[in-house]
Amino acid sequence: MGLHLMSTLSRRMEELTSDTVRMYVCGPTVYDLIHIGNARPFIVFDALRRYLESQGREVIYVQNITDIEDKIIGRAREEGVPASEIAARYTDEYFQDLERLGVKRPTHSPKATEYVGKMIELIKVLIDKGHAYVAAGDVYFSVASFPGYGKLSGKVLEELEAGARIAVDEKKRDPLDFALWKAAKPGEPKWPSPWGEGRPGWHTECVVMSMDILGVPLDIHAGGNDLIFPHHENEIAQAEAATGKTFARIWLHNGMLTVRGEKMAKSLGNFAYARDVVAEYGTEAVRYFYLTRAYRKPLDFSDEALREAKKAVEGVYDFLWAAEALPEEGEIPEGFSAELAALEERFHVRLSEDFDTAGAIGVLQELVGAAHRLRQGGGDPIGARAAAALVRRLAQPLGLFQRARPRAEGRTEELIGLLIELRAALRSQKNFALADRIRDRLSQLGIELRDTPDGTTWTIRKGSG
């Protein structure tokens, strides 16, 4: 099935046709742990990547690590350690957080500091072509030299300048010009260059790394919608001014995570670290929370919303684990097979239209409901098992519903079985006081018993996984 995505650049749906998808997602600046809002693009574009792979496409997924930047230098100063130490520490923490979030490692995670030489090459080209100029050790991109400037963000140069809140910098010819190379101030990390010692500007690294690893045009360039201007606008200007070719075909931008309607941001202090949220609610609740809202829309973070997501996830597991414990008996009614096929089709249709994960997850929930009704109507166990298998298969690219039922270790299972057996005997003798005591004590140990018409089953308490 085809896939259409809403591109910020064209402001319309674009079909993604390539079998090999070259995809670039803006990564973190490693000066601190990522907050839960930062995790949104990582999760949704990871899901997109996996969905593309599930369609049999090859995805080359590149995500940069900005390991030289003002905030890193600032933090290093505060702690009195080299900037490289701060960057190394938070790069490591970032990879750990990706794992906690259930995000697959990018195919490539290039670091800015490893591309300084290639950035200098790009800057040289821009100077040669008249798109950049040197000013007292700095190099600036001349916005006026690139006619397409503003095409991504829909901004018009004159209006930007009229309302410019940008601090006037004497070195710039135009207040909108942005730094490609910054001269080093005393004590700052620095690299040699034809314009003196310094370091590259932030907007340059993504261009150089993406073009170096993926070539142009990229199939997909993605990131938060707060990067549309100026970051991505500036990337387009540099890349297209240098190469004369289209930089990226499809631009995807996720909406911001908000708290009581306001953007979550370190500077506002209204943030929670991603790892803390995962520790409290679990990886899947976090993924479910994100994937049940269209990636382009703003999404409000709250404990209530996360709790709700967690309950919804547990509900699906209740179904999966119960269905998978059923015997493989009977036949799937023809009508039910057709229903499953129709639901599968609807699931894919939802994803094919701008990767509507929320709609697709709604279909998964319908699948669960259909299986329940089948059982209720006296359908064979195999039907529910088929539905469960389908849920697992479809949810796999979303990174949801892949966990096996938690099992106790070693002899524990047999011992629990023994207690259940004893309790059943007590119940048949109407010794409910003792039977209830077994149930209560096991519950205290995190083992929940459920008396069903088919006998007693048990589970390790939810939420412990």
Partner RNA sequence: GGCGGCGUAGCCAAGUGGCAAGGCGAGGGACUGCAAAUCCCUUAUUCCCCGGUUCGAAUCCGGGCGCCGCCUCCA
> How far is Cα 314 from Cα 309, in angstroms, rounded to an integer?
9
Q: Which of 102, 79, 100 has its CA nearest to residue 31?
A: 79
Q: Residues in contact with RNA, total (CB under 7 A)?
A: 88
Type and span of the H or E element at 254? strand 248-254
* Binding to RNA in span 361-390, by CB under 7 A: 361-363, 365-366, 368-369, 372-373, 375-376
Question: 73 vs 81, 84, 165, 288, CA distance in Å?
Answer: 9, 9, 25, 36
Residue from the set 359, 408, 458, 460 that interacts with RNA by CB under 7 A: 359
Q: Which is nearer to RNA, 125 or 265 (CB)?
A: 265
Site stretch for RNA (CB under 7 A), options 279-287, 334-342, 354-362, 409-417: 354-362
What would the x/- binding string for RNA be over residues 312 to 351, using CB under 7 A?
A: x-xx--xx--x---------------------------x-
Q: Does 264 bind RNA (CB under 7 A)?
A: yes
* Least separation in angstroms between CB 447 and RNA: 12
171 is a contact residue toward RNA (CB under 7 A) = no
Rule CB under 7 A: choose which of 356, 408, 447, 465 binds RNA.
356
- Nearer Cβ to RNA, position 18 or 93? 93
Binder among 134, 157, 265, 442 for RNA (CB under 7 A):
265
Residue whose token pair is 């387009």: 236
Specify the residue, 19 or 454, whose C-beta has the smaller distance to RNA: 454
**Among positions 155, 190, 348, 392, the unique one binding RNA when judged by CB under 7 A:** 155
Q: Is 272 in the site for RNA (CB under 7 A)?
A: no
Residues in Cβ contact with 223 at an 8 Å cutoff, skipping those fewer than 6 apart: 25, 26, 41, 231, 232, 252, 253, 254
Count Cβ atoms within 10 A of the Cβ of residue 117 and give its class: 0-12 exposed, 13-18 middle, 19 or more buried.
exposed
CB 295 within 8 A of CB 44: yes
- 211 contacts 239 by C-beta, under 8 angstroms: yes
Phi first, then psi: give them for residue 163, nearest 5 degrees: -100, 20
Between CA 431 and CA 404 the distance in angstroms is 35
Binding of residue 311 to RNA (CB under 7 A): yes
Q: Which residues between 240 and 259 bind RNA (CB under 7 A)? A: 254-258
Interaction between residue 464 and RNA (CB under 7 A): no
441 makes contact with RNA (CB under 7 A): no
Q: Is 108 helix (H, G, I), strand (E, B) or coil?
A: strand
Closer residue to RNA, CB minimum distance, 18 or 403: 403
Q: Which of residues 80-139 bind RNA (CB under 7 A)?
A: none
DSSP 401-465: S-PPPP---TTHHHHHHHHHHHHHHHHHTT-HHHHHHHHHHHHHTTEEEEEETTEEEEEEPTT--
- Give me the helix-helix angle, 283-291 and 303-324, nearest 10°: 110
Among 95, 191, 229, 273, binds RNA (CB under 7 A): 229
Q: For residue 280, what are the CA distances in angstroms to 38, 93, 247, 275, 310?
A: 17, 18, 41, 9, 10
CA–CA gap between residue 156 and residue 56 (Å, rounded): 41
DSSP state of 59: E
From residue 37 to residue 76, what is the string marking binding to RNA with x (rule CB under 7 A)?
xx-xx----------------------------xx-----
List the interface residues with RNA, window 4-23 (CB under 7 A): 11
| Region from 118-126, 138-146, 306-314, 408-416 binding RNA, contact rule CB under 7 A | 306-314
Interacting residues with RNA between 399 and 428 (CB under 7 A):
427
* Residue of 164, 279, 425, 445 interacting with RNA (CB under 7 A): 164
Give the Cα separation of 384 and 381 in Å (integer).
Answer: 5
Q: Using the rule CB under 7 A, is 190 a contact of RNA?
A: no
Binding to RNA by residue 224, rule CB under 7 A?
yes
Name the one range near RNA by CB under 7 A: 51-59, 163-171, 180-188, 394-402: 163-171
